[in-house]
Amino acid sequence: MTSSDLPVYPVLLAGGSGTRLWPVSRELYPKQLVRFIGSDSLIQSTLKRLSPVLDSHNVKIVCGAEHSVEISRHIESIGIRADGNVISEPCGRNTAPAVLLALFDILRTESDAILCIFPADHVIQDVDSFHVKLASAIRLAAADYIVTFGIQPGYPETGYGYIEGRSLISEGALSIGRFVEKPDIQTAGHYVQAGNYFWNSGMFAFKASVMAEEFKTFQPYLYYQLKTLVAASDALSIEDYQVLPNISIDVAVMEKTLKGAVLPSDFGWSDIGSWKSLYDFLPKDENQNVFHGDVISNASHHCFVMGHERLIAANHLNNVVIVETPDSVFVSDIENSRDVKSIVSTLKEKGRWEYQQHTTASKPWGSLTSLETKDHYRVGRMIVYPGSTVTIKTNPAAARTLVVVAGTADITVGLKRRMLQTGESLYLAPENHAVIENGSNDPLVIIQIATATFFSTEV
């Protein structure tokens, strides 16, 4: 559907933690993995809407090492191979190193290519219009432009950066005058009235060769340092990676290049950066409410209520956000709901684990859920995926009892091996460790009871 003879690679940037969407989005389970809208996670939705303009099987996903296993599961569940397509960063260094890392990966097998960069956690309502603009962006990239998608602002938003467009190029694109950081409300209003300022969507299209030259020109240290690291090893160390500049692609290249083009776009885009933006994006009922989960409302208006496990009853509320998870509840007025970021900072300062993970933690072998925590005992649920193995380590402070509630467990303790069927249990003394295998085609579910003063969420 494009005029370019070069292969085209979609690149998804899947870093970040989405702290403004706490308590659903957390450091170890960021918003791109969450199913806010429909049955797909945000990263799955992002991949699906690329077709048929782009081949989603060519995708490269750059993410944090701590998220790579779960992201791999998400993409493989929609039929996209994860091996070779998920690129792990040992630590976050902003978007410029992430883009360059994907570029180097693609140039290992291609002499040149067109890269289309997408944040993995944004949403788009009008997919047909998005496809039209995407095809235009690829044609512009083939002509050596570095294209950024500029969203036509419908109102003076102070939470986005803006791009000034100047002279017309082709495909409706404009040369870039300047990038502007998040403005105050009065300045944002002037931008909307001017008509040639656009929201910065963080989506790009460019030739790998063109972007490589711009990195060499404007960020030579980053370019050559990362190139050396990639050439030396497939597995980047955190010690090497964290010395790279922590810099965005906008600051690193886009604000300096003379090859930039902004493509005005209007396809119902949102970065879902807060509960307010998610509320604005979703359809409302007759009282302008958005309800998700088991919610009963009486005389409530302009509210966003999301429940996961419990009944939520909203009575005579207006302009309120309520988000319930198994371990936390967030309540705020809608307009100030993005301030939840400061609450997350407070949780982190106090050493509260709720800022980082849910009661259920994803593991390479399955998941571990904390069911109950008391002073002298802890109860957890382990789900071991088919074909997976997990080791329960020794814990001098805790004796543990394992109860199989679904499936069959092949358990080795020391030199002894036994099969536990549903309903059977095994006692582990503090000095014992156990290796549990699930050789079946069904998930294995085990309840773990630890009698101690400490129960780690780690196995």
Question: What are the backbone dihedrals phi and psi of residue 458, each rounded to the nearest 5 degrees, phi first?
Answer: -90, 145
Residues 165 and 46 placed together within one structural domain of the fold: yes
Question: Of 254, 270, 286, which marks where a domain is finished?
Answer: 270
**369-407 residue pLDDT tens:** 999 988 889 999 999 999 999 999 888 888 999 999 999
Strands (E), 101-145: 114-119, 123-124
Residue with tokens 């090497």: 240
Are the C-beta atoms of residues 173 and 239 closer than 8 Å to each other? Answer: no
Q: Report the C-alpha gap between 404 and 69 in whole angstroms.
A: 25
- 229 shares a domain with 298: no
Q: Where residue 338 falls among pLDDT bands split at 50, 70, 90?
A: confident
Q: How far apart are CA 117 and CA 95, in angstroms?
A: 10
Enclosing domain of residue 383: 360-451
Nearest CA-CA partner of 272 in 62, 73, 32: 32
Do 210 and 103 meet the contact criterion of CB atoms below 8 Å apart? no
> What are the tens digits of pLDDT across the range 187-242?
999 999 999 999 999 999 999 999 999 999 999 999 999 999 999 887 899 999 99
Return d(Cα 442, Cα 293) in angstroms, integer. Answer: 28
Q: Are residues 96 and 145 in the same domain?
A: yes
Q: Same domain for 264 and 324?
A: no
Q: Is 350 inside a domain boundary?
A: no
Beta-bridge mates of residue 60: 11
Backbone φ and ψ of 455, nearest 5°:
-135, 110
3 within domain boundaries: no
For residues 23 and 55, membership in a common domain is answered with: yes
- Asked if residue 457 belongs to a domain, the reply is no
Confidence of residue 2 (pLDDT cuts 50, 70, 90): very low
Please indicate, yes or no, if residue 349 is contained in any of the structural domains: no
**Among candidate residues 261, 277, 239, the one with its CA nearest the CA of residue 125:** 277
Cβ neighbors of 30 (< 8 A, separation 6 or more) are 14, 15, 16, 17, 18, 67, 121
Query: Residue 410's domain is classified under what CATH number?
Result: 2.60.120.10
Claim to verify: residue 376 and residue 227 sit in the same structural domain: no
Contact 268, 256 (CB under 8 A): no
Which structure tokens are listed for 336?
Answer: 């100030």
* Nearest one of 248, 153, 171 to 202, comparing CA atoms: 248
pLDDT number for residue 19: 83
Quote the tokens at residue 272.
């879902």
Q: Are residues 27 and 174 in the same domain?
A: yes
Question: How far apart, in Å, are the Cα atoms of 274 and each of 23, 56, 224?
Answer: 11, 27, 37
Given 270, 286, 307, the domain boundary residue is: 270
Residues 261 and 288 both lie in one domain: no
User: Which residue, chain included where needed, has tokens 């319930």?
Assistant: 324
| Interacting residues of 221 by C-beta distance below 8 A, sequence separation 6+ | 245
> Does some domain include residue 431?
yes
Q: What is the pLDDT of residue 455?
A: 46
pLDDT of residue 4: 59
Task: Count how many domains the chain has.
Answer: 3
pLDDT in tens, 69-110: 899 999 999 999 999 999 999 999 999 999 999 999 999 999
Q: What is the pLDDT of residue 284?
A: 96
CATH number for the domain spanning 236: value is 3.90.550.10
Q: Given 270, 296, 321, which residue is the final one in a domain?
A: 270
Q: Are 264 and 331 in a shared domain?
A: no
Mean pLDDT score, 52-57: 93
Do 160 and 235 fall within a single domain?
yes
d(CA 276, CA 270): 11
Flag whether 458 is in a domain.
Answer: no
| Cβ atoms 331, 320 nearer than 8 A | yes
148 within a domain of the structure (yes/no): yes
Q: In sequence order, what are the beta bridge partners of 284? A: none
- The answer to whether residues 335 and 382 belong to one domain is no
My answer on whether 237 and 368 are in the same domain is: no
Extended strands (E) in 316-386: 320-324, 329-333, 360-363, 366-373, 378-384
Q: Which amino acid is at 388?
A: S
Residue 129 lies in a domain: yes
